[in-house]
């Protein structure tokens, strides 16, 4: 339990140059914590609502002054000089907002308060943030997550023209997190050299991956294989993952792939395509292979591929226990992406992870495309012993800082 003395908030810029909110919580005994809230580009319709100003004369309507005002006025008035645990604070914020999707106060305002309170409590207890998270969640042992490095960007994250949003390296065959980062760094450098040698642009997408205008989606996977081999590794050491973000090209009951000359695919066609990709390439994970409400399709995909690879729900489940429960009931997936800003509080995020792990599924912590330098998700992944994490490539500071924090935690746990 801790007593909140004051809350402050300000506007900062995320990695895309758009406004976002940063909140500082100060406790009665002087400890304080600061947290900033990221923003997604390919957001699911079922996510908690990020409050924006919609004043087109400023920041293209993306300002967060309304969210800031909610933190420093209504929320502060409601919580100031009162004692809370993480759970009681988060539920008080949910009740104060009064909507199902946090649209009145804004999930960004609420999450900023929730996460900054967590940091302040960890500071007051003189423990690392992952220890604080693990304590309130009942974690009995800490495990470093398996990193997924997004090294070729498509979809809404880049102008490459590729339909698949993320082409990821998954370095599994290494003994430490640090060694996995080192392998990823070497492969990315090799990939850049190989792309440049063929005349492709190596500009970076939102998440730090390259955005070459390749002829077809499969060429992104082939490029990764060549880079793995060129860096001196094998596909038993480094596998592949993809985030398709299929909702972004789902229209009127069909999947329209622009990289296939506007070819329209049914759900069955998409699943058959994934089966062929898994046969051709060492893919061990497919995220959001179908649209966010294509429940029957996900169930069929998991039935056909779930015994071989990880089928990840993101837009399908949006870190929401109600939708995760539906996924459990329908056997729709076997792994859940976890993004705190999809749901809006730390407590609900923990509940989503616990439900996922209780089912025996993998919890996969994720950043957003519009990131900040905040490393909260690194401590979250360790504190909840989540199996996987993705924070982008190893080329941009707002991504690298998460991996740096995980290496720091690995060293602390080793000590």
User: What distances in angstroms separate CA 53 from CA 43, 64, 345, 353, one per listed residue?
Assistant: 18, 6, 21, 31
Q: Cβ neighbours of residue 314 under 8 Å, at least 6 residues apart? A: 44, 243, 245, 287, 288, 337, 339, 366
Helices and strands in the chain, H and E counts: 14, 15
Q: Cβ neighbours of residue 128 under 8 Å, at least 6 residues apart? A: 122, 379, 409, 412
Task: Report how far residue 378's alpha carbon sits from residue 372's, in angstroms, rounded to the nearest whole number.
Answer: 13
The backbone torsions φ and ψ at residue 3, rounded to the nearest 5 degrees and listed phi first, read: -100, 130
CB 2 within 8 A of CB 83: yes
Task: Report how far residue 152's alpha carbon sits from residue 17's, in angstroms, rounded to the nearest whole number.
Answer: 21
CB 310 within 8 A of CB 362: yes
Tell me, yes or no, if 339 is annotated catalytic.
yes
Sign of the dihedral through C-alpha 118, 124, 128, 133: negative
Of 166, 207, 387, 398, which residue is the catalytic one? 207
Task: Report how far residue 318's alpha carbon sits from residue 42's, in angstroms, rounded to the nearest whole number.
Answer: 12
Tell me, yes or no, if 326 is annotated catalytic.
no
Is 295 exposed, middle or buried, given 0-12, 13-18 or 19+ CB atoms closer than 10 A? Answer: middle
Of 339, 351, 371, 387, which residue is the catalytic one? 339
Closest CA to 44 of 261, 382, 366: 366
Task: Report how far residue 257's alpha carbon sits from residue 143's, in angstroms, rounded to the nearest whole number.
Answer: 38
Task: List the catalytic residues.
Answer: 207, 339
């Amino acid at each position: 339990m801790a007593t909140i003395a004051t809350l402050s908030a300000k506007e900062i810029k995320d990695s895309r140059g758009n406004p976002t909110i940063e909140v500082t919580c100060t406790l009665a005994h002087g400890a304080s914590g600061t947290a900033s809230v990221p923003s997604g580009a390919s957001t699911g319709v079922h996510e908690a609502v990020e409050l924006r100003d919609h004043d087109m004369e400023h920041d293209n309507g993306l300002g967060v002054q309304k969210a800031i005002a909610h933190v420093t006025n209504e929320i502060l008035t409601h919580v100031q000089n009162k004692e809370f645990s993480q759970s009681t604070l988060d539920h008080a914020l949910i009740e104060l907002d009064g909507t199902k999707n946090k649209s009145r106060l804004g999930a960004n305002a609420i999450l900023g308060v929730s996460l900054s309170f967590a940091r302040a409590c960890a500071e007051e207890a003189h423990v690392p943030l992952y220890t604080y998270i693990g304590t309130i969640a009942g974690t009995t042992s800490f495990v470093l997550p398996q990193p997924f490095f997004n090294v070729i960007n498509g979809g809404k994250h880049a102008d490459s023209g590729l339909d698949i949003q993320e082409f990821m390296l998954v370095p599994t065959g290494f003994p430490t997190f640090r060694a996995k980062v080192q392998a990823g760094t070497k492969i990315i450098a090799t990939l850049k050299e190989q792309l440049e040698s063929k005349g492709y642009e190596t500009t970076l997408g939102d998440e730090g991956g390259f955005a070459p205008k390749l002829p077809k989606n499969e060429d992104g996977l082939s490029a990764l294989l060549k880079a793995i081999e060129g860096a001196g590794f094998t596909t038993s050491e480094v596998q592949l993952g993809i985030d398709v973000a299929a909702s972004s090209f789902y229209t009127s009951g069909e999947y329209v792939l622009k990289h296939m000359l506007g070819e329209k695919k049914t759900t069955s066609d998409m699943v058959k395509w994934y089966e062929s990709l898994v046969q051709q390439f060492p893919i061990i994970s497919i995220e959001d292979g179908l649209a966010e409400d294509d429940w029957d399709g996900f169930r069929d995909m998991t039935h056909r591929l779930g015994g071989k690879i990880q089928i990840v729900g993101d837009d399908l489940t949006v870190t929401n226990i109600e939708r995760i429960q539906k996924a459990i009931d329908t056997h729709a997936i076997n792994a859940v992406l976890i993004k705190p800003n999809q749901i809006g509080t730390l407590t609900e995020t923990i509940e989503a992870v616990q439900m996922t792990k209780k089912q025996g599924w993998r919890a996969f912590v994720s950043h957003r495309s519009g990131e900040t330098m905040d490393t909260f998700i690194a401590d979250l992944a360790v504190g909840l012993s989540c199996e996987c994490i993705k924070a982008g490539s190893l080329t941009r500071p707002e991504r690298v800082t998460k991996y740096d924090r995980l290496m720091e935690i690995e060293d602390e746990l080793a000590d």
